[in-house]
Amino acid sequence: MSIKKQTSLGQIKISDAAIAVLAGGAVIECYGVVGMTSQQVLKDGFYELLKKENYTKGVIVKNKPEGLEVDLYLVVSYGVKVSEVVNEVQKRVKYTLEKALNMDVLAVNVHVQGIKVVE
């Protein structure tokens, strides 16, 4: 599913993968975020950190008539206040997507998959 907009010059289509890369880039810039993870658990409850080209596996975009709903799966750093990191991620992703797409973002749901000690 993708976003379709009609302009005076023609039609614009934005794929969910492009939106996921935008959201993933905004997440990684936030303090306290170690990385994005896939929403699927590997064996024994471990999660694989995704590289930049695989952010689409850690972001789920739902296009609703009222706007976008985004689910993010990430790992945070040990020793940071998780609620503050999540709040910052939500604000930054919402701002980035609304500015880039000129579309309302209804919800940014953050799923913290783990906490990692960073040296």
CA dist., res. 23 & res. 75, Å (int): 15
Residue 100 binned pLDDT confidence (cut-offs 50, 70, 90): very high
Best CA proximity match to 86, nearest among 108, 70, 106, 104: 108
pTM of the model: 0.83
Comparing 41 with 111, the larger pLDDT belongs to 111
Q: What percent of the chain has pLDDT over 70?
A: 84
Cβ atoms within 10 Å, residue 75: 21
- Of the ranges 20-29, 30-39, 47-56, which one carries the lowest mean pLDDT score? 47-56
| Number of separate domains in the chain | 1
Whether 5 is in a domain gets the answer no
What torsion, rounded to 10 degrees, do the Cα atoms 10, 103, 108, 16 define? 0
Whether 91 is in a domain gets the answer yes
Whether 68 is in a domain gets the answer yes
Whether 7 is in a domain gets the answer no
Whether 40 is in a domain gets the answer yes
State the CATH number of the domain containing residue 40. 3.30.70.1350
Whether 1 is in a domain gets the answer no
Q: Which residues of 23-56 are buried (b: 16+ CB within 10 A; e: fewer)?
A: bbebbbebebbbbbbbeeeeeeeebbbbeeebbb
> Residue 36's domain spans which residues?
14-116
Whether 84 is in a domain gets the answer yes
Whether 74 is in a domain gets the answer yes
